[in-house]
Structure 1
Amino acid sequence: MECGLVLKSVGYKSIPVDGLPFDHRKGIVPNVQGRVLSEASEDAQVEKGLYVCGWLKRGPTGIIATNLYCAEETVASISEDVERGVVTSRSGLSKPGREGLLQLLDSRNVKIVPFGGWEKIDSEEKRRGSLKNKPREKLTSWQDLLEVATK
């Protein structure tokens, strides 16, 4: 049988995250629609302002797209809690948003690759792959990735 790509899935189980309740049997943070619960029991209370998604929320199930629906459910819970006033800013001050994040990254000398840079990387990997009759040839070093992204 001719095939261009084979992926093997070997399974996964989340591990506890410091400071979060954890159900060791299921390998998840106990939650209801992404809202973290104080423990894995029927008497558990929702931990105000604490949310989870992905495999840590539901266990190693589904396909890649399942994470999208999982995240949408958690975001809907967050939005609902914000609208109901359950979750508010601790300081009451407006957050600096994207600009604040960019300033923080810059202050820590973190190099970012914007979407346009990723598009350049994507295009170059596909170009290199086509030369080898493959869908893509991955760039595997940070130096190569940054060089292509900043051309």
Structure 2
Amino acid sequence: MKMVLTVTFVGYIDDEVPGKQVAVGSGEFEDLKCGLVLKSIGYKSLPIEGLPFDKYRGVVPNLRGRIFSSESETAKVEPGLYVVGWLKRGPTGIVATNLHCAEETVASILEDDKKGVLRASSDLKRPGRRGLLEILEQKNTRYVSFDDWEKIDAKEKTAGQLNNKPREKITTWDELLKVANEG
């Protein structure tokens, strides 16, 4: 099967609303031979209770991933609170953009740790990981721990090697949980 992807070059302009970006075709097109086409459409993030939120941009106000205490110009960075991805920068970019975004936030976390800004979770008014696990358990929510994910990762890679692929994805939640609970 022959597949051709027609790429339309776009710019982002909206003269009516300053700062708003909308896709505008440039009139230039290019046909590319390809074997697979994936389409992804951005969305606007929703506010999270307890965090400041810029409703217009759909982001948590931040500086290099460090969350601000409010949306005001005099807001201060909240020690120990960080954000990544579309909630950090809005619905833009590609997979590589997410990687850069996460690296930037991790660099902020490491800088803060080196400066002694981070405190033990017992000192914080927000319980962090412990609090999240308590909420999940109270709601009887099934989740996969990092150790469980490592089991899934190993199983997918092993199955992939049998098919000369990097991995064979497990595609159902029940199968993921089965693998996670093995051993």
Normalising by the residue count of structure 2, what TM-score does the alignment of the two structures yield? 0.57
Deviates more, 1:81-90 or 1:10-19: 81-90
Greater fraction strand: 2
Deviation digits for residues 2-60 of structure 1, max 9, x if unmatched? 24322112221110011000000000000011111122232211112211111111111
Greater fraction helix: 1
1:21 aligns with 2:52: yes
1:63-78 residue pairs with structure 2 within 5 A?
63-78=94-109
The residue aligned with 1:87 is 118
- Which residues of structure 2 form unaligned runs of 5+? 4-33, 124-129, 135-139
Between the aligned partners of 1:4 and 1:88, the Cα distance in structure 2 is 50
Between the aligned partners of 2:52 and 2:174, the Cα distance in structure 1 is 40
Q: 1:8 aligns with which of 34, 39, 43?
A: 39
1:1-150 residue pairs with structure 2 within 5 A?
1-2=2-3, 3-91=34-122, 113-124=148-159, 139-145=170-176
Matched letter for residue 82 of structure 1: D
Taking only the aligned residue pairs, the percentage that are identical comes to 54
Superposition RMSD on alpha carbons, in Å?
A: 3.5
Between the aligned partners of 1:14 and 1:124, the Cα distance in structure 2 is 35
Normalising by the residue count of structure 1, what TM-score does the alignment of the two structures yield? 0.67
Tell me by how many angstroms 1:65 deviates: 1.6
Contact 1:22-1:30 within 8 A present in 2 as well: yes
Deviates more, 1:9-18 or 1:38-47: 38-47
Distance 1:138 1:4, change over 3 A: farther
Between the aligned partners of 1:56 and 1:48, the Cα distance in structure 2 is 18
Tell me by how many angstroms 1:138 deviates: 5.3
Matched letter for residue 80 of structure 2: G
Between the aligned partners of 1:60 and 1:50, the Cα distance in structure 2 is 21
Deviates more, 1:67-76 or 1:138-147: 138-147
Between the aligned partners of 1:138 and 1:84, the Cα distance in structure 2 is 41
Deviation digits for residues 47-89 of structure 1, max 9, x if unmatched? 1221111111111111112112111111111121222222221
- Which residues of structure 1 form unaligned runs of 5+? 93-99
Matched letter for residue 124 of structure 1: A
Distance 1:83 1:139, change over 3 A: closer
Deviates more, 1:136-145 or 1:63-72: 136-145
Alignment length (residue pairs): 135
Structure 2 SS opposite 1:113: helix
